[in-house]
Amino acid sequence: MKTAVYPGSFDPVTLGHLDIIERSSRIVDELVVGVLNNSSKNPLFSMEERVNMLKEVTSHLSNVRIESFDGLLVDFAVRCHANVVVRGLRAITDFEYELQMSQTNRIMCPKLDTIFLTTDLKYAYLSSSIVREMAHYGGDISAFVPAAIIERVLEKFI
Ligand code: COA
């Protein structure tokens, strides 16, 4: 049984994240999307909101579950019995940080490998902060986030 974790802040989940979730769920037996309670970020959405949005937009994927976590990714991966971490690479600028993270994780947990999926070109520019900024100024975010969560993002800025 191959279990992978896909970690991130998902504040909020974007179509780019969903693309990575859908594609990686076809590669592994089980995918655990790990929503990080990141103390260095001040999230727009509570942990419960981020988890619920992810559950809703991945409900069509039977081998995907959503969990929250604190602390080190390696500890979360061990708790999930995962031996693979999935990360998306959007552009070359992501690479240095991702390389450092995957190498550090492997030193801490040698059985844990990271696989990288190149983000669909359609979403190469996308990030959660772009979504938040667009919504803040009342922009159309339908090309950036799943339809089911558009209203919830816009409501945050009313
Ligand atoms: N599509 C769209 N946006 C994407 C994306 C994709 N495929 N992949 C990443 N992004 C965006 C995110 O939306 C986020 O945007 P924002 O900064 O504007 O909010 C940004 O890229 C950063 O990605 P994200 O995955 O949310 O968080 P991160 O890179 O800050 O953290 C963790 C990644 C969770 C894996 C890392 O912080 C971690 O492991 N933390 C736990 C502590 C730990 O173990 N630390 C040691 C690591 S060596």
For the CA of 40, the closest atom of ligand 1 is 30
Strand 64-69 to 84-89 pairing: unpaired
9 lines ligand 1 (CB under 6 A): yes
The contacts of residue 113 (CB under 8 Å, 6+ apart) are 83, 84, 85, 102, 106
Is the pLDDT at 40 greater than 90? The verdict is no
- Mean pLDDT score, 52-65: 98
Q: Whose CA is nearest to atom 40 of ligand 1?
A: 73
Classify domain 3-155 by CATH number.
3.40.50.620
Is the pLDDT at 158 greater than 90? The verdict is no
- Mean pLDDT score, 65-91: 97
43 lines ligand 1 (CB under 6 A): no
pLDDT 10s digits, 131-148: 999 999 999 999 999 999
- Give the pLDDT score at 113: 97
- Mean pLDDT score, 97-113: 97
- Mean pLDDT score, 41-67: 97
d(CA 32, CA 109): 18
According to DSSP, residue 70 is labeled -
Domains of the chain, by residue range, sit at: 3-155
Catalytic residue among 9, 24, 25, 90: 90
127 lines ligand 1 (CB under 6 A): yes
